[in-house]
Chain A
Amino acid sequence: MTTKTTRLHIRRGTPGAPARTETFDVPFTPGQSLLDGLRWIRTKLDPSLAIRFSCINANACKECMIELEGKAVYACTQRLKEGDMHVAPLSNKALVHDLISEIAPRDERLLD
């Protein structure tokens, strides 16, 4: 079996610093989610990659929202595909770190 690859281009950085794009090759298995790919990067290549999610499968927490090719998606329900994928944090929310943006309702935040 030939191994297929997803090439994930990830916009990374923290507020105030210029963003950079890093590229990771992830083995592609049909059926996997984008979140599976991002989690694979954390365990195999770079544990510092900041992503946010709770429920992993159930699509119940709604925390994993990021942008894929400029469109908001849930990383846990978006399929991984062979070839290139470009992901970034939500552009309409304040950046926290890498793919994490501030998503909590205003009245549930510690700081304003």
Chain B
Amino acid sequence: MIQLETDVLVIGAGGAGMYAAIAAARDGCRVQLIDRSLIGRGGATVMAQMTVSVALGAQCPDHWEHHLADTLQAGRGLCDPLLAQLLCENAELRIREMDAWKVGWAREDGHLKQVHAPGHDRARCVYVDFLNTGPAVSRTLRAQLNRIDAIRRIGDVLVTDIVVSSGEAVGAVGLHLLTGETVALQAKSVIIATGGLTRLYRRNSGSLNMGGDGYALALRAGAELVDMEFVQFFPIGHLAPRMIGMDPIMWDPFRYKLGGRLLNAEGEEFADRYGQAESGNYVLTRDVATYAIYKEVEAGRGSPAGGAYLSFAHVPDADLRKAFGPVIDRLAKNNIDLSKMSVEVAPIAHYHMGGVRVNAAMETRVPNLYAAGEAVGGANGANRLSGNGITEAFVFGERAGTSAAARAKARAASGWNEAAAARALEPVNRRAQAAATPNTAALLVELQALMDDKVGPFRTGDKLDAALQRLLQMQQALGPLPAGATPYDMVCLDWLDLRNMLLVAQCVVRAAIERKESRGAHQREDFPGMLPEWNLNQRLSWCDGELNVECVPTARAATTAP
């Protein structure tokens, strides 16, 4: 076993984790920043292409209270108001700091340029050209990290559990993927910044590292999860023809700039059947577009791959090239000529509103354990406003880093507990005794198909029950121990991923079964309509191998630790 020790341990090096590491080091702590992938490359942050919301008032007068009002509105009454306020109020500080670190926010007439994204009441979103927000953000934060000696960056380490002693977090354990050796990470405080869970779904916009590890880590450590039923789908993810080297959510900017027509298999525009007419402009909200596409497919009018057609055939060539010059060439390499053909699009899993429950200091109910970024639940309620994802990563990351640093400074030692660490590592250490495991790669694909088919944006009690049944069977099939012990053992890695993904999938399904109404990203076809008696947040906890779901009235103003 490889032993490491530090003040603040940050798990996950996306926007939230990198910001947390910088903030904790700034407050005088030694930091270890761990990622299962490469630093700043494995998660959603580097993949983001578009906008970041912040009430700067640079483009037009604005105030964070307006941003908050829009965030709460999008969240359909379920946002944790303190977290939402923190996000909106602190956004400017972080966006300006990133600007000082030369991220390169687009400028116009001597001020930061802000665009008007759907759901916002005014031009509020900054970005980096061209479709380069995520890579620029990642590069900038990495450059800052590299300048700070107190931060040790370590990639290729998969954290498999938080180590808890006497109810307190004392560090974590994991696997060094390159050698297959186990790793003990002692720390005075720990931050979970592992991002979202969209890998649970077959059609998703995310990466391999977004199987919801942090939710499973938090749950097993004794923390609570909240709002797990709310998975945001992006309506027009690319489906066909196979397009490589490009993000599947790339059609959104095309629609912003050029409109584009959404057509069914019969070549008809159909959005108006579902309450919103388009006429060439991009006004369709995400939920209506998602619904309309699902319904057309269900009615047998879907495209061959099971989605809708998106057509730009009415847009003159010159306009296409003017708006997206180099991107048009990349499309050509994929044999896609937008002037002659349409592409197929469908809703894909994109972001998770739910997550680890924290207070405004990013503290979970487990002492010394914090969370940040998309791993946190609550700020966005039942639906996230576009642009709030990156802002949340910055703001919550910084806050978690500051809080965890204060905590670490107040503690003399980690309080590491060998026996607890050994228990956490048990399955990994007993790898050699594993019976033959099923084809883990195939099981993963099956899980993703199950979630797509039965736990998508449109749900029924029957489908959800069937999904839960199957998840429990799959857990049985997976078995109690991982197999394989070679360096970078894919079978062992799949097993560990499946262990978390199956648990997190159950959280989503259980919460979705309970919520017998339709709200935001959770639409029950058997319970249409939003009900006032469901102005509740569902909290999940793990106790003696059982998942507990509890309903709590949405917080109004709680200032104490959860």
Q: Is the CB of B245 within 8 A of A54?
A: no
Q: Is the CB of A111 within 8 A of B488?
A: no
B432 within 8 A of A: no
Q: Is the CB of B38 within 8 A of A61?
A: yes
CB proximity to B under 8 Å, residues A79-112? 79, 96-97, 100, 102-104, 107-111
Q: Interface majority SS on B: helix, strand, loop or mixed?
A: loop
Measured CA separation A74–B245 after assembly (Å): 9
Specify the chain B residue showing the minimal Cβ separation from A47.
Answer: B441
Interface size counted on chain B using CB atoms at 8 A: 48
Q: Which of B151-159, B511-519, B554-562 contacts A (4 or more CB under 8 A)?
A: B151-159
User: Could you say which residues of chain B place their CB within 8 Å of the CB of A47?
Assistant: 439-442, 490-491, 494
Known: A104-B38, A110-B2. A96 touches B488 (CB 8 A): yes
Measured CA separation A103–B178 after assembly (Å): 10
From residue B185, how far is it (CB to closest CB) to chain A in Å?
10
Q: Is the CB of A100 within 8 A of B488?
A: yes
Specify the chain A residue showing the minimal Cβ separation from B483.
Answer: A48
User: Could you say which residues of chain A place their CB within 8 Å of the CB of B242?
Assistant: 29, 31-33, 36
B298 within 8 A of A: no
Known: A31-B334, A53-B208, A60-B41. A97 touches B248 (CB 8 A): no
B466 within 8 A of A: no
Specify the chain B residue showing the minimal Cβ separation from A52.
Answer: B488
A42 within 8 A of B: yes
User: Could you say which residues of chain A place their CB within 8 Å of the CB of B38?
Assistant: 54, 61-63, 103-104, 108
Q: Is the CB of A104 within 8 A of B155?
A: yes
From residue A54, how far is it (CB to closest CB) to chain B in Å?
4
* Interface residues, chain B, with chain A CB atoms under 8 Å away: 2, 37-39, 41-43, 46-47, 134-135, 146, 153-157, 176, 178-179, 183, 207-209, 241-248, 334-335, 439-442, 444-445, 484, 486-491, 494
Q: Is the CB of B178 within 8 A of A102?
A: yes
Cβ-neighbour of A63 out of B37, B441, B442 (below 8 A): B37
Q: Is the CB of A109 within 8 A of B155?
A: yes
Specify the chain B residue showing the minimal Cβ separation from A74.
Answer: B245
User: Could you say which residues of chain B place their CB within 8 Å of the CB of A52?
Assistant: 488
Can you give 26 A-B contacts (C-beta < 8 A)? Answer: A14-B486, A14-B487, A29-B242, A31-B241, A31-B243, A31-B244, A39-B441, A42-B441, A43-B444, A48-B489, A49-B490, A50-B488, A50-B490, A54-B207, A55-B207, A58-B248, A60-B46, A61-B41, A61-B46, A61-B207, A62-B41, A74-B245, A97-B488, A97-B489, A104-B155, A111-B176
Q: Is the CB of B154 within 8 A of A109?
A: yes
User: Could you say which residues of chain B place their CB within 8 Å of the CB of A51?
Assistant: 490
Q: 9 extra interchain contacts, Cβ-Cβ under 8 A, other than A55-B47, A107-B146, A110-B183?
A: A32-B244, A55-B46, A60-B41, A96-B487, A97-B488, A102-B178, A104-B39, A107-B153, A108-B153
A72 within 8 A of B: no
User: Could you say which residues of chain A place their CB within 8 Å of the CB of B245?
Assistant: 57-59, 74, 76-77
From residue A112, how far is it (CB to closest CB) to chain B in Å?
12
From residue A85, how far is it (CB to closest CB) to chain B in Å?
15
User: Could you say which residues of chain A place their CB within 8 Å of the CB of B488?
Assistant: 50, 52, 96-97, 100
Q: Report the contact-size class of chain A (Cβ under 8 Å from the partner).
A: 35 or more
Cβ-neighbour of A77 out of B41, B244, B441 (below 8 A): B244
User: Could you say which residues of chain B place their CB within 8 Å of the CB of A50?
Assistant: 486, 488-490
User: Could you say which residues of chain B place their CB within 8 Å of the CB of A29?
Assistant: 242
From residue A55, how far is it (CB to closest CB) to chain B in Å?
5
From residue A6, how far is it (CB to closest CB) to chain B in Å?
14
User: Could you say which residues of chain A place their CB within 8 Å of the CB of B489?
Assistant: 48, 50, 97
Known: A60-B46, A109-B156. A76 touches B135 (CB 8 A): no
Q: Is the CB of B42 within 8 A of A48?
A: no
From residue A34, how far is it (CB to closest CB) to chain B in Å?
9
Measured CA separation A48–B248 after assembly (Å): 28
Q: Is the CB of A54 within 8 A of B442?
A: no
Known: A31-B242, A43-B442, A59-B246. A54 touches B41 (CB 8 A): yes
User: Could you say which residues of chain B place their CB within 8 Å of the CB of A36?
Assistant: 242
Q: Is the CB of B155 within 8 A of A43?
A: no
Known: A107-B153, A110-B157. A44 touches B442 (CB 8 A): yes
Known: A49-B490, A110-B176. A61 touches B42 (CB 8 A): yes
Specify the chain A residue showing the minimal Cβ separation from B174.
Answer: A110
- Among A14, A31, A76, the most chain B Cβ lie within 10 Å of the Cβ of A31
User: Could you say which residues of chain B place their CB within 8 Å of the CB of A103?
Assistant: 38
User: Could you say which residues of chain B place their CB within 8 Å of the CB of A31?
Assistant: 241-244, 334-335
From residue A110, how far is it (CB to closest CB) to chain B in Å?
5
Measured CA separation A44–B207 after assembly (Å): 21
Measured CA separation A56–B246 after assembly (Å): 9
From residue A82, how far is it (CB to closest CB) to chain B in Å?
15
User: Could you say which residues of chain A place their CB within 8 Å of the CB of B248?
Assistant: 57-58
From residue A4, how far is it (CB to closest CB) to chain B in Å?
15
User: Could you say which residues of chain B place their CB within 8 Å of the CB of A59?
Assistant: 244-246
User: Could you say which residues of chain B place their CB within 8 Å of the CB of A108?
Assistant: 38-39, 153-155
Measured CA separation A56–B37 after assembly (Å): 13
A15 within 8 A of B: yes
Specify the chain B residue showing the minimal Cβ separation from A103.
Answer: B38
Q: Is the CB of A54 within 8 A of B490?
A: no
Q: Is the CB of A111 within 8 A of B179?
A: yes
Measured CA separation A29–B176 after assembly (Å): 36
User: Could you say which residues of chain A place their CB within 8 Å of the CB of B486?
Assistant: 14, 48, 50, 97
Top 10 A-B pairs, shortest CB-CB distance = A31-B242, A47-B441, A77-B245, A42-B441, A58-B247, A54-B207, A97-B488, A43-B441, A59-B245, A33-B244
Specify the chain A residue showing the minimal Cβ separation from B242.
Answer: A31
Q: Is the CB of A56 within 8 A of B176?
A: no
From residue B495, how far is it (CB to closest CB) to chain A in Å?
10
- Among B241, B334, B444, B488, the most chain A Cβ lie within 10 Å of the Cβ of B488
From residue B439, how far is it (CB to closest CB) to chain A in Å?
5
From residue A111, how far is it (CB to closest CB) to chain B in Å?
7
Known: A54-B207, A77-B245, A104-B156. A61 touches B176 (CB 8 A): no
From residue A30, how far is it (CB to closest CB) to chain B in Å?
8
